[in-house]
Amino acid sequence: MGVRLYDFWGWLVIVPGTAVIAGILGAGLIPTVGTLWLICLWGYAFPPLVGYLSGEWMGAGRYTSPRMLGFAYGSARAELLGGLETSVNFGLALAVIVGTTGYVVGFVIRWMATRIRSA
């Protein structure tokens, strides 16, 4: 039975929504970007890490097929290293872009709500 985590398209709403909510609450831009990057790191590196640590990457285990990376590495260790590399190279840039954009949108919503309340 597969995990099917990457068939869940709600991440396209949850990740930007997290940034917008952080902007509304004034949580800070750095923690917002860091949170989005950790979500990316979790998705790219956690499944191969579990497969690597549990030894169930090959055979009939849950982690027999490569994750969303599509690297098709032959081992969990190789895909884990590829996932970490992708998370740093691509995931961090995406977290900065999506996090900053979402945070600014949330900040503008908070600013407009404050202006409307005070008027």
Boundaries of every domain in the chain: 29-118
Between these two residues, 2 and 109, which has the higher pLDDT value? 109
pLDDT digits (tens, 9 = 90+) for 65-92: 445 545 556 677 887 888 888 888 888 9
Can you say whether residue 61 is alpha, beta or left, with left for phi > 0 and alpha for psi between -120 and 50 degrees?
beta
Per the CB < 8 A criterion, the answer to whether 109 and 47 are in contact is no
Per the CB < 8 A criterion, the answer to whether 31 and 48 are in contact is no
pLDDT at position 62 over 70: no
According to DSSP, residue 5 is labeled G
Query: What's the mean per-residue pLDDT of the chain?
Result: 81
Which pTM does this prediction carry?
A: 0.76
pLDDT band at 116 (very low <50, low <70, confident <90, very high): very high
Strand, helix or coil for residue 3:
coil
Of the chain, the percentage scoring pLDDT greater than 70 comes to 77
22 C-beta neighbours (distance < 10 Å), count: 22
pLDDT digits (tens, 9 = 90+) for 19-46: 999 999 999 999 999 999 998 888 778 8
Torsion of CA 65, 67, 71, 72, to 10 degrees: 0
